[in-house]
Amino acid sequence: MTDYSRICFVPAVLALTICSAQAKEKITTACFYESGQDNGKAISDFSIWNTAAFPIPKGTIVSYTSSGAPNKTFTAKPDKDIAPNDSFSSGGTEPSGDCKAWWLK
Q: Per residue in 42-51, pLDDT tens?
A: 777 899 999 9
Sheet of 41-49: strand order equals 74-76, 62-66, 99-104, 26-38, 41-49, 87-89
The predicted-structure confidence for 16-58, as pLDDT tens digits, reads as follows 545 445 678 999 999 998 887 778 777 778 999 999 999 999 9
Higher confidence at residue 39 or residue 8?
39
Tell me the average pLDDT of the chain. Answer: 83
Distance CA 63, CA 39 (A): 28
Q: Which of 59, 71, 53, 64 is nearest to 90 (CA)?
A: 64
**Does pLDDT of 85 surpass 60?**
yes
pLDDT cut 90: percent of the chain above it: 53
Distance CA 45, CA 49 (A): 13
Locate the domains of the chain by residue range: 24-104
